[in-house]
A = this chain, B = another copy of it.
Amino acid sequence: MILNIKVKILSRKEVGPNIYLIRLKAPEIAQDALPGQFIHIKCSKDNYPLLRRPLSIHRIDKEKGEIFILFQAVGDGTKLLAQREIGDDLDIMGPIGNGFNIYPKSRKIMIVGGGIGVAPLLALCEESIRQGKEVRVLIGALKKELIIGEESYKILGAKVDVATDDGSYKHKGLVTDLLEGSIREGWLADQIFACGPKSMLKKIVEISLDAHIDCQVSLEERMACGIGACLGCVCKIKTKDKKEDKVKYEYKRVCVDGPVFGGSEVVWDD
């Protein structure tokens, strides 16, 4: 069930240029949360900005009853959030969404994150490793300073590779190059999970279709309610009609029908 609660800000750290990691005391949410879910946050204490902002749950610490968010301060909402003080009560709703679906029979997991898209993937990595999967992580960023979480993934026991657009660190190029490379080398995952810019996701879906690997992507869309009521946050999804003989299109809600969708269901071109 989605809760609307006030939770304490336990710590806040600028982990990269304009990128913040905030730890929240939220036992009720930590208890239920799945990797890939998000929380819907009232960034300020008054009604300006008006709407909440969705941020993925970055890490889930069920034992301590804590959750983490990792975000980039891009506009009014996230900038105000980055200024909230330790000890403040934060008004959040969550956990929201379907989360990633790790199949029990999968043995090898490939996780691909672009930019701030890495945010929801740490919890996924942790859970995958907890379930005994072999996990590889590919991280893409514009440049060296914007790479987030490389160490955190390594500590969990995942093999991590990095690509930067400008070549300022490790592979120069796109993170999708790394994905193609690993497939070429013969490391075939049972599932690919990805989060990041649309162009990256689209390419990853193409690669996964070619390689016949099951792929799940986490989408973003502008949200109002965050709980499925306003139909503001839709994306176009291919569905089959009842007789399964005709492809249909439907606008599904990113907030509660997603944010994770099967890569092949997503219609990218409008």
Question: Which A residues fall within an 8 A CB radius of B?
Answer: 46, 48, 76
Return A183 CB to nearest CB of chain B, in Å.
48
Query: Which residues from B are CB-within-8-Å of A76?
Result: 46
Query: Which residues from B are CB-within-8-Å of A46?
Result: 48, 76
Return A206 CB to nearest CB of chain B, in Å.
42
Return A46 CB to nearest CB of chain B, in Å.
7
Closest to A76 in B: B46
When chains A and B are docked, how far (Å) is the Cα of A76 from the Cα of B48? 12
The 3 lowest CB-CB distance pairs between A and B, nearest first, are A48-B48, A46-B48, A46-B76
When chains A and B are docked, how far (Å) is the Cα of A76 from the Cα of B46? 9
Query: Which residues from B are CB-within-8-Å of A48?
Result: 46, 48
When chains A and B are docked, how far (Å) is the Cα of A215 from the Cα of B255? 66
When chains A and B are docked, how far (Å) is the Cα of A10 from the Cα of B96? 44
Return A90 CB to nearest CB of chain B, in Å.
17
When chains A and B are docked, how far (Å) is the Cα of A76 from the Cα of B76? 19
Closest to A46 in B: B48
Closest to A47 in B: B48
Closest to A79 in B: B46
Closest to A48 in B: B48
Return A211 CB to nearest CB of chain B, in Å.
48
When chains A and B are docked, how far (Å) is the Cα of A48 from the Cα of B48? 7
**CB-defined A-B contacts under 8 Å, sample of 3:** A46-B48, A46-B76, A48-B48
When chains A and B are docked, how far (Å) is the Cα of A76 from the Cα of B44? 14
When chains A and B are docked, how far (Å) is the Cα of A46 from the Cα of B76? 9
When chains A and B are docked, how far (Å) is the Cα of A48 from the Cα of B46? 9
Closest to A50 in B: B48
Return A73 CB to nearest CB of chain B, in Å.
14
Closest to A80 in B: B46
When chains A and B are docked, how far (Å) is the Cα of A46 from the Cα of B44? 12
When chains A and B are docked, how far (Å) is the Cα of A122 from the Cα of B46? 34
Return A79 CB to nearest CB of chain B, in Å.
9
Return A100 CB to nearest CB of chain B, in Å.
36
